[in-house]
Amino acid sequence: MKPKNKRVNRAWLHDHLNDPYVKAAQREGYRSRAAYKLKEIDESFGLIKPGQVVVDLGAAPGAWSQYLRRRFAPEGAAAGELHGTIIALDLLDFESIEGVTFLQGDFREDEVAARLVQALDGRPVDLVVSDMAPNLSGIPVSDAARVAHLVELAVEFSLQHLRPEGALVCKAFHGSGYSQLVKLFKESFRIVKPVKPKASRDKSAETFLLGIGPKSGKDVGNDGK
């Protein structure tokens, strides 16, 4: 390993180990610090309530599903009684979470999306949360297209399955193509909020788009006018 790379890795490891959200995740039993991103969004907008049906896209390693599970449990328990439905999906496998239905597969594939619809068994969805992110190539135009494709799939799924008052929380990245994704959200939802949780690192281009109240098919594309 080159000396410069060693310095960079040591600096990253130092920052990671001293990150308050990493320490909190270890202390509270979450699989990653990402749990606190969803927690902050939830507490800001009151999205998650016991009894809901929630779909977690890009769920591995499972921190968001853990947070959802605790929100649906009496006194925030990590196991035992659960009032609500959580269906998690990811290309990667993850260790099971009590009460969470996990589907492994690539959401970009029709067969996998069909399995997710089957798991819903006709139930409308209250909330879709998507932490999906592609493997980035470092080529801005190509990476922007990959990010946009995943966001578009999450929006399409949400428009088909959300309740009229339902919501989508979706990861996006500032940079090439971001304004088009905001436009897509404004065309697809009655209320749109960009959110940068404190748990999202300052150096990261990551942000989240929140859409509440999916527009009907006749509204989509005309921005509600």
Taking only the tens place, the pLDDT of each residue in 66-118 is: 999 999 999 888 888 899 999 999 999 989 999 999 999 999 999 999 999 99
State the DSSP code for 49: -
Backbone phi, then psi, for 132, in 5-degree steps? Answer: -65, 140
Q: Any idea which architecture 32-214 has in CATH?
A: 3-Layer(aba) Sandwich (3.40)
pLDDT at 9: 66
Residue owning tokens 């290309």: 91
Question: pTM of the prediction?
Answer: 0.87
Stated length of the chain:
225
As given in the structure block, the two tokens for residue 127 are: 């909330």
Angle at 130 between CA 125 and CA 133, to 5 degrees: 155
Binding-site positions for S-adenosyl-L-methionine read 62, 64, 90, 106, 131
Furthest C-alpha separation in the chain: 58
CA dihedral (173, 174, 177, 180) positive or negative: positive
pLDDT at 16: 55
As given in the structure block, the two tokens for residue 82 are: 């659960």
For 192, the enclosing helix (H) or strand (E) is: strand 189-195
Residues of the chain with pLDDT under 50: 1, 8, 12, 14, 217-225
Is 193 annotated as catalytic?
no
Kind of pairing, strands 206-214 and 189-195?
antiparallel
Contacts of 42 (CB under 8 A, 6+ apart): 48, 67, 71
Counts for the chain of helices (H) and strands (E), in that order: 7, 7
Q: How far apart are CA 201 and CA 178, in angstroms?
A: 18
pLDDT at 38: 98
Catalytic residue among 6, 171, 193, 215: 171
Binding-site positions read 62, 64, 90, 106, 131
Q: How far apart are CA 126 and CA 150, in angstroms?
A: 20
Angle at 67 between CA 116 and CA 133, to 5 degrees: 55
As given in the structure block, the two tokens for residue 146 are: 């990959």
